[in-house]
Amino acid sequence: MRFKKIAFENYKTYYGNQEIDLSLSNDDQEHGRNIILLGGLNGAGKTTILKAIRYALFGKRGITKEEQERLVANTINNTYFEEGGRDCSVSLSLQMDSGEEWRLKVKWRFDSRKKNTGEYREIFVKKSPASLEKKLNVTDLASFNYFIDRIIPYNAAPFFIFDGEEIKELITKQSSAEMKRAIHQITGLDSYKLLVSNLNTLESQLYKKLSSATNQDTVNQKQKELQSLEKDILKYEKYIKKTKKELQEVDESLAKVTDERNQKISSNSKSRETLVKKQAELATKLKLKKEEFETVYKDNILYIILSDEIKSLKSSLKKENDVKNKKIMRENALEPYNTFINNLLGKDIDPPLTKEQLNQIKKIGESVWLKEDNQSSEVKAPEIHDLSTRDQSILNSLPIKDRHLLYKIKEDLSKLIEKHQLMEQEILSAPESVNIEKESKQIAYLQEKRGVLNDNIRKAFKKLTPMKEQLTNVRNQLTRLTSSDVSSEELTKKLEYTTYTKEFAEEFLNEATQLKATMIRDEFEAMLKKLFRKTDEFDDVVFDINNYSIRLYNELGQEISILDRSAGEMQMISSALIWALIKASDLDLPMVIDTPLGRLDSVHRNNLIENYYKELSDQVIILSTDTEITKEYVDMMKNHSAKQYLLDYNEEHKYTLIRDGYFDIVEVN
């Protein structure tokens, strides 16, 4: 989808009927001119354009009642209102991928006191450029919102339509839950979350139906047992979650106290300073090795477990593909024969043959034809899997993994843990010139507490695992208790298919989320390298896929606060994050960005235009101020922009005129 045009009719600062052509020609697309530039002074109506596009698409969604009243109060142009006008409108034309053109129109009416008396939405559809527009009245706002969300999901809009100087809020307000939710929304994974929820509901309903199809007393007993197990499992899961959170707090406290103890030692003892430095290096290696083990385990465990099954599946698919090809060859060989024999037997024969004789002739002729064509008259080994070429390619590309890689990493991990423990003993036994008794006691206490918590978690899991196995057994027993009639068998099959589908959907959701997060991290870090000319104050910027957050590190590998960065740096980092989210999404949408370059120097501006906006989307609409205009900016924009407009505010008449040729009019700094 692309924006084709936006038109104003006495809307806010735009007097009369004015429109902006946002379309891109084939020549523009072939030469990479994807930017449409609209520039003007502050107050000329740049932000008005951004808000008009957003309101035409999403209306009042996400706007408070106070904001809505403030927005509507100044909707109609003052000059037009003073002349007696009482209505205004905004129209946004969309060029759909199907070739259709949709025009979304929002109209407002006001009384003589400038009070809004109504808001109306209309949709005009052109099936093709040569056809006439067909008007559709919007009576059901929910249906309209549903249609728009299929084009631009409302929750994804902040990543496609935004103020360039305000996008740093993506970083300052980041949190694991919010970022993960954004990834799900922008990548379409929300639909799979809904699918899992619906499958859970369906599974529960099927279990209830199964229970009513057999002996009720037995079913009631099993249901009570099932409810009791579910209650106990929930209790243990809550306990494990609570204990893990407590363990995390202990780990944080332990790390803090250990750091304080090590700083004391390092500042007073050269020997201990060396040991502490080695311990820090060892701790880093240990952390990386743990992350490596978790990554390799997550990426390969499924293929390791299913290695034999994958080999068998690939062999079966090859055999079935051979059978399929033989069938096709046989059918192709018989095609001219069928044409011939049908024409022959369709002629009048005297005396006429019986139907059985005709079939015999056709059957015998088929055998003779196939033998002459070196084809077998029959193809045995029935085809089992009905797979598309794409599905077959995916299955054949499944890797076969070896478990020895996990064994090797696990062995290395054990060695590092042992070295870390020995290093801790060396630090404790080394001579000290400062009193660290308090820290040492606190460390010992926290380590002991950590051990107790870990032991409690292990004990809880030891009880939880057999409970879950018992829960599965009870559910299976409920299934087997169903009656032997046809409806019960169908119900059992539905339950099995539902369970398999739910498990697959859950696994897919987890894997897809991890894949998207990894893609975001890679795209984010790659774009940062293109945007920043240097990183004097921080050595590295990374996207942490474990908690979906951005982290800054200095040259010593220490994390530093992201909130201390300049506004320009924050804008560049946020821009890189938006780049990553868009590239990881399944959405191909135009971008609308207000004042994107105001806080950046010339080098960073050029980097942003050359490496970012040029590649961000096939259509990028930039709303620029005069403070952003330099000679380098003009030269670069002329090469990459398809259209340029100047928003010229008339101080005398208090309205804005839209003019072509921005670079021919504006003064270059």
* Per-chain mean pLDDT for the chain: 81
Q: How many CB atoms lie within 10 A of CB 364?
A: 10
Rounded Cα distance, 188 and 196, in Å:
14
For residue range 389-443, list pLDDT tens digits in order.
777 788 778 887 777 878 888 888 888 888 888 877 777 776 555 677 888 888 8
pLDDT at residue 252 tops 80: yes
pLDDT at residue 110 tops 70: yes
- The mean pLDDT value for 246-252 works out to 89
Q: Answer for the pair 490, 549: CB distance below 8 angstroms, yes or no.
A: no
515-665: CATH architecture: 3-Layer(aba) Sandwich (3.40)
- The mean pLDDT value for 565-582 works out to 80
Q: Answer for the pair 43, 107: CB distance below 8 angstroms, yes or no.
A: no
All CATH 3.40.50.300 domain ranges of the chain, comma separated, are: 2-20+55-178, 515-665
Angle of CA points 426, 430, 433, to nearest 5°: 150
More confident residue, 612 or 81: 81
- The mean pLDDT value for 381-385 works out to 58
2-20+55-178: CATH architecture: 3-Layer(aba) Sandwich (3.40)
Rounded Cα distance, 341 and 457, in Å:
77
Percent of the chain surpassing pLDDT 90: 14
| Spatial CA neighbour of 12 closest among 644, 622, 649 | 649
- The mean pLDDT value for 78-92 works out to 94
For residue range 322-358, list pLDDT tens digits in order.
877 788 787 788 788 888 888 887 777 878 888 888 8
Q: Answer for the pair 575, 165: CB distance below 8 angstroms, yes or no.
A: no
- What's the burial of 596, exposed, middle or buried (CB within 10 Å: 0-12/13-18/19+)? buried
Residue 485 pLDDT level (bands cut at 50, 70, 90): very low
Residue 180 pLDDT level (bands cut at 50, 70, 90): low
**Residue 468: CA count within 13 A, CB half-sphere:** 10
- Phi, psi of 174, rounded to the nearest 5 degrees: -65, 145
- The mean pLDDT value for 455-479 works out to 87
Residue 484 pLDDT level (bands cut at 50, 70, 90): very low
Q: So what's the pLDDT on residue 181? A: 67
pLDDT at residue 600 tops 60: yes
Q: β-strand 35-39 against 620-624: which pairing, if any?
A: parallel
More confident residue, 153 or 620: 620
Angle of CA points 9, 10, 14, to nearest 5°: 100
| End-to-end Cα separation, the chain, in angstroms | 36
Angle of CA points 487, 493, 497, to nearest 5°: 145
H helix runs in 14-64, sequence order = 26-30, 46-58
The two structure tokens encoding residue 59:
């209306």
pLDDT at residue 383 tops 90: no
pLDDT at residue 177 tops 70: no
* Stated pTM of the model: 0.55
